[in-house]
């Protein structure tokens, strides 16, 4: 997959394009992307996902505290897994927000990306004052020589699937529901940091990943997970929080990979952690012995989960 995060997006090959923020890449996003892939194969076009960074709502001060479901690298990773040819993360500024819908289509989509087909959600709006939408595009199909494919919202259990809905479930720690809305397991990716090696002394060494300010995480607590490292999946238990028993200061993601001695091989390596089920909230124990006994119970619960 090609990836562009600059203003220079000019292409030589005709494209099928879908537009949006694609935070979380949930069932609705997947329907758009799968349609782009299918149509691009039929016409021998390039499949393109056109997104933005930063999120427009943040730039326009409509949601300055908005936190993303996935980091930029995680979203890129997910799109690459889906087999998209080109992922564009177009720089979003207040100046760009003033570009009219007509200018955006003519100067960027048609002129630079050689767009022949636009796949767009029924509720998608773009351009200055959000004047661009499905109707706007369909009225200009002949003028621009475009084909517009409208995709209706995806319903799950009778309610529209949206990034907002995913955020709400994630904030509650409803990992099972989040995974259903995403179709695939929710992930956290990151580079392993040098820790205090407390886990080693407890008999449960962990791989530690730092958290990011602009990213949404599940509630602090312990989760059943699987960890991918070096192309291999391992069953694991992951804690999100501050380690209150040992007076931890910084929020961190700690993963114990079950029954595998990876020692120091993981430092500076990128891990992909898949979340499957919430076990318990983070808690302060009276001493490290109590903490160790609880970790043992958490690990046995995870083993039982994967055995089934």
Q: For residue 268, with 0-12 CB atoms within 10 Å meaning exposed, 13-18 middle and 19 or more buried, which class applies? A: exposed
pTM higher than the cut 0.75: yes
Mean pLDDT, all residues of the chain: 93
Tokens of 17: 């394009």
The predicted pLDDT at position 71 comes to 95
**What is the rounded CA–CA span in Å between residue 269 and residue 189?**
10
**Neighbouring residues of 174: CB distance < 8 A, sequence distance ≥ 6:** 278
CB half-sphere exposure, 41, CA atoms < 13 A? 7
Tokens of 231: 């192309």
Cβ neighbours, 10 Å, residue 297: 12
Distances (CA, A) of 164 to 63, 68, 141, 182, 197: 12, 10, 31, 12, 37
Local structure of residue 152 (DSSP, 8 states):
P
Q: Which of 61-65, 135-139, 192-196, 263-267 ranks highest by mean pLDDT? A: 135-139
Q: Is the pLDDT of residue 261 over 80?
A: no
CA-wise closest residue to 122 among 166, 62, 162, 67: 162
Q: How confident is the model at residue 194 (pLDDT cuts 50, 70, 90)?
A: confident
**What is the rounded CA–CA span in Å between residue 305 and residue 301?**
6
Residue 115 · residue 17 · CB < 8 Å: yes
Q: Is the pLDDT of residue 246 over 90?
A: no
Residue holding tokens 């390596």? 269
Span 65-71, average pLDDT: 91
Domains of the chain and CATH, by start = 2-160 (3.40.50.620), 185-307 (2.40.30.30)
**What is the rounded CA–CA span in Å between residue 246 and residue 153?**
47
Q: How confident is the model at residue 242 (pLDDT cuts 50, 70, 90)?
A: confident
Residue 280 · residue 238 · CB < 8 Å: no
Local structure of residue 108 (DSSP, 8 states):
I
The predicted pLDDT at position 200 comes to 59
First-to-last alpha carbon distance for the chain, in angstroms, is 36
Strand, coil or helix: 40: helix
* Residue 286 φ/ψ, nearest 5 degrees: -65, -30
Distances (CA, A) of 219 to 57, 178, 285: 24, 13, 18
Q: For residue 159, with 0-12 CB atoms within 10 Å meaning exposed, 13-18 middle and 19 or more buried, which class applies? A: exposed
Q: Which residues pair with 232 in a beta bridge?
A: 229
Q: How confident is the model at residue 101 (pLDDT cuts 50, 70, 90)?
A: very high
Q: Which residues pair with 159 in a beta bridge?
A: 156
* Strand residues in the chain grouped as ranges (E): 2-4, 15-19, 46-53, 86-91, 115-121, 147-151, 155-156, 159-160, 186-193, 207-210, 221-229, 232-241, 252-257, 270-281
- % of residues, the chain, pLDDT over 70: 94
């Amino acid at each position: 997959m090609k990836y562009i995060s600059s203003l220079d997006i000019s292409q030589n090959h005709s494209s099928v394009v879908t537009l949006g923020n694609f935070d979380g890449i949930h069932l609705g996003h997947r329907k758009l992307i799968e349609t782009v892939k299918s149509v691009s194969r039929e016409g021998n076009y390039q499949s393109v996902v056109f997104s933005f960074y930063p999120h427009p709502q943040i730039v326009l001060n409509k949601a300055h505290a908005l936190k993303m479901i996935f980091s930029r690298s995680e979203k890129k990773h997910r799109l690459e897994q889906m087999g998209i040819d080109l992922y564009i993360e177009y720089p979003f500024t207040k100046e760009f927000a003033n570009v009219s819908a007509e200018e955006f289509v003519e100067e960027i989509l048609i002129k630079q990306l050689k767009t022949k087909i636009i796949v767009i959600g029924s509720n998608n709006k773009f351009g200055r004052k959000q004047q661009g939408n499905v109707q706007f595009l369909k009225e200009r199909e002949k003028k621009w020589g475009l084909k517009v494919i409208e995709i209706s919202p995806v319903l799950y259990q009778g309610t529209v699937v949206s990034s907002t809905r995913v955020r709400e479930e994630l904030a509650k720690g409803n990992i099972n529901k989040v995974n259903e809305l995403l179709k695939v397991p929710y992930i956290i990716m990151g580079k392993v940091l040098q820790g205090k090696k407390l886990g080693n002394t407890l008999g449960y060494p962990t791989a530690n990943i730092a958290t990011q300010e602009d990213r949404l995480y599940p509630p602090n607590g312990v989760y059943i997970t699987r960890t991918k490292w070096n192309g291999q999946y391992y069953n694991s238990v992951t804690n999100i929080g501050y380690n209150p028993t040992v007076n931890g200061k910084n929020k961190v993601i700690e993963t114990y990979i079950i029954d595998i001695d990876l020692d120091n091989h993981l430092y500076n390596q990128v891990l992909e952690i898949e979340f499957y089920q919430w076990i318990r909230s983070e808690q302060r124990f009276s001493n490290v012995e109590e903490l160790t006994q609880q970790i043992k119970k958490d690990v046995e619960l995870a083993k039982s989960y994967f055995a089934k």
